[in-house]
């Protein structure tokens, strides 16, 4: 049970905390009784290659969830290139991106929890099956 909890925790800290993800996941894993290595390794879901697409997807998901298509017209990538990422993110896109990140985090944490729970059970079942066949010989 602690491995899926660690995966879900790693997803949350990996996406929502831009810095010090591994220490946050390790500190939170102790009171939540989550697997610390699983939590720490799962924080690597965000890295320099995955973070920009994740934030753009979070913006679009948040824009859809808040229904602000008319309020924020235009292409976010083109606007960010023209105005600068920080200005664009802190002005027009902040609410949509924040809501989108929360939705993406929830979806990834729930998906990671159930996927790792299934994978962990399959791995343990295989180990028991191998042990049982080895002891029968």
Look-up: residue for tokens 């049970």? 1
Q: What is the pTM of this model?
A: 0.75
CB atoms within 10 A of CB 86: 9
Q: What is the pLDDT of residue 53?
A: 92
User: Domain limits at 64?
Assistant: 2-136
* φ, ψ of residue 47 in degrees (nearest 5): -150, 180
Q: What is the pLDDT of residue 67?
A: 80
CB-based contacts of 32, cutoff 8 Å, min separation 6: 5, 9
Q: Is 33 left (phi over 0), alpha (psi -120 to 50) or beta?
A: left
Q: How many domains does the chain have?
A: 1
Average the pLDDT over each of 25-34, 69-78, 114-123 and give the range with the smallest value.
69-78
């Amino acid at each position: 049970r602690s491995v899926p909890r660690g995966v879900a925790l790693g997803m949350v800290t990996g996406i929502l905390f831009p810095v010090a993800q591994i220490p946050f996941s390790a500190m939170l894993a102790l009171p939540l009784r989550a697997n610390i290595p699983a939590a720490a390794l799962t924080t690597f879901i965000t890295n320099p290659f995955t973070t920009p697409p994740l934030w753009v997807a979070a913006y679009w998901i948040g824009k859809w969830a808040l229904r602000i298509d008319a309020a924020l017209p235009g292409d976010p990538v083109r606007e960010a290139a023209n105005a600068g990422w920080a200005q664009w993110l802190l002005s027009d896109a902040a609410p949509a991106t924040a809501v989108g990140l929360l939705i993406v985090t929830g979806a990834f944490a729930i998906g990671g929890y159930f996927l790792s729970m299934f994978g962990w059970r399959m791995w343990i079942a295989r180990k028991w099956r191998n042990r049982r066949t080895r002891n029968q010989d």
